[in-house]
């Protein structure tokens, strides 16, 4: 029985240490419900309940996000958002495509208007020639 208590005590300590490390290394935007210092105090004063509370309610869930559960590179890639190159940014590429589509549409519209004016002028000239009596 003493071994079981020792095993449970060690599991509690390990869980508290892991929760403390997780809390201290979490980004400011990933911490919910309480400030970081409050979470640290909760984990230290109530190791089992505090650690479980931290993992359940204290940090932002990363389930379903790309790269969840695995470190990226040296661990710094997940902490800092680096600027994305324009040719790698899908939003930028979409905006460029929309602008070029819009410019192409405007150019096509301009050509259609010019063609319509030319045809109208041709029709007016023909109507003018047909209405004149021949001498």
End-to-end CA distance of the chain: 128
If you average pLDDT over residues 43-69, what whole number do you get?
A: 79
Q: What are phi and psi of 102, to 5 degrees?
A: -65, -45
Same domain, 97 and 52: no
Establish if 80 belongs to a structural domain: no
Our measurement of the distance from residue 24's CA atom to the centroid of its chain's CA atoms, rounded to an integer in Å, reads 24
Same domain, 13 and 55: yes
| Residues of the domain holding 11 | 7-61
Helices 2-25 and 36-45 pack at an angle, to 10 degrees, of 170
Same domain, 135 and 97: yes
If you average pLDDT over residues 39-44, what whole number do you get?
A: 94
Establish if 69 belongs to a structural domain: no
Q: What is the pLDDT of residues 57-111, one digit of tens each?
A: 888 766 555 555 545 455 554 555 667 777 778 888 888 788 877 788 888 889 9
Place 16 in a pLDDT band, splitting at 50, 70 and 90: very high
Q: How far apart are CA 22 and CA 52, in angstroms?
A: 12
Share of the chain above pLDDT 70, in %: 80
pTM for this predicted structure: 0.46
Establish if 66 belongs to a structural domain: no
Same domain, 48 and 90: no
Domain count, the chain: 2
Helix (H, G, I), strand (E, B) or coil at 98: helix
Helix (H, G, I), strand (E, B) or coil at 59: strand
Establish if 24 belongs to a structural domain: yes
Residue 14: predicted pLDDT: 95
Establish if 71 belongs to a structural domain: no
Last residue of a domain, one of 16, 44, 61: 61
């Amino acid at each position: 029985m003493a071994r079981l208590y020792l095993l449970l005590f060690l599991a509690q300590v390990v869980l508290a240490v892991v929760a403390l490390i997780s809390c201290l290394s979490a980004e400011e935007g990933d911490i919910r419900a309480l400030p970081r210092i409050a979470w640290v105090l909760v984990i230290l004063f109530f190791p089992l309940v505090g650690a479980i509370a931290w993992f359940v309610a204290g940090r932002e869930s990363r389930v379903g996000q790309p790269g969840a559960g695995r470190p990226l590179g040296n661990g710094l890639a997940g902490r800092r958002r680096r600027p994305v190159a324009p040719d790698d940014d899908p939003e930028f590429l979409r905006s460029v495509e929309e602008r070029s589509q819009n410019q192409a549409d405007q150019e096509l519209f301009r050509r259609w208007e010019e063609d319509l004016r030319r045809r109208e002028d041709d029709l007016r000239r023909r109507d003018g020639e047909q209405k004149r009596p021949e001498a």
